Structure 1
Amino acid sequence: MKKFLLWSLTLLLGVTLCGCFEESASNTAAADAAIRSLNQAHKTNSSNNLQQIGMACRMFVDDNDRFPNGLSELLESNSGLKSVLIASYDKKSSAAAGSTVKSGNTSYAYLARGISGRVNADLPVCIEKPWLLPPEENTIRVLFASGEVKVLSVPNVSGKSCEDVVDSILSDSPDAGKIRQNASRIDRNHKKNK
């Protein structure tokens, strides 16, 4: 009788544990799906932010025949833009106080400083700061002078600098040197503020 009870208890415990493992695997799959969904929502949010920055740039170019010298100048003419300067995935940046946008007040690297309003449509104007992206990320969102936002594949993008990203996507245009200089300036500022 004792052997039967011991065997029954062992069987019951085994069935219970198997059920727990199945439930645990189910919970893990659900958690993975939730994480993928959240990551996709962050990417969509960032693309939408860049589109709004692009519309504000286009309005500025229409009025001034040049791109703004920075996000601060863009914010002065469009105060509603402040809410889109930080992507939902960015836990490091904080909102700008007033209309002055410093490096730590945005998720985006603005590259069009000192650029004429008459440029190639495929010139990158603004990119996500690569070091703010999750380590496993292999894509980056880029705003082009045309106003289009593209998702580009850049392996190990979070380990790259703005200049690395710009070099991987930049076409040879008259303004390419200025864009590279602006990317390099953003990288130096980031390293200084680490």
Structure 2
Amino acid sequence: MLAWFGAGWLWGSYWTAAPGQGAIADDGDFDVPVNIHLQERWALNLDFHPGRLGNAEFANHTAPWKDGTADTGPITLQWRLLANDGQQVASGTALFHRVDSWSTATVSCKQPLPPLSPGRYRLAGQLSAPPPAAAGMDMAVAIRALNGKAWSSWQLDLAWWMGLLNRVFVLPLSIVLLLALVGHALWQRRQRGRPH
């Protein structure tokens, strides 16, 4: 069971990992290696992290973005996707108008990318005009699946089902069996310690 659990975790980690992610330099430049494993629908993500801000300060600065009440104007990201030989495969200008997802340490905006064939690439470009509220934050770019709940690849579907099976059945059953083995070992030890 532990072998199955480990295999499921490795499978999910490999197939669901972002094909590419990296920091944006202070001058707005970025150059990130990308490895597309699957013929999937991908999106270009712009991520904001706390950086020099504390978590509470980061939450305060990004709260208007999450609520959609701030009129910061679009954030412009010029990007190019290059093959290993340096040939340009795709390019564009992404205008981020709103926040699409957030957690304690990350706020993300995303734009769909054109279809990409599996292979190795480089994502390079320039971020311009970040909102003033982003001062002190770390910014990064990442390529992730466009819709984490509607994949077109069987590898990602299998990773999702294996993860669900592991959380709902394999992990709880493994814990129960481990506790039963420990209890049995303690009982056996106690039995051996009794005088005959």
The verdict on a shared fold, with TM-score over 0.5 as the criterion, is no
Query: Larger % of helix: which?
Result: 1
* TM-score, scaled to structure 1: 0.25
Relative contact order (C-alpha < 8 Å, sep 6+): which is higher?
Answer: 2
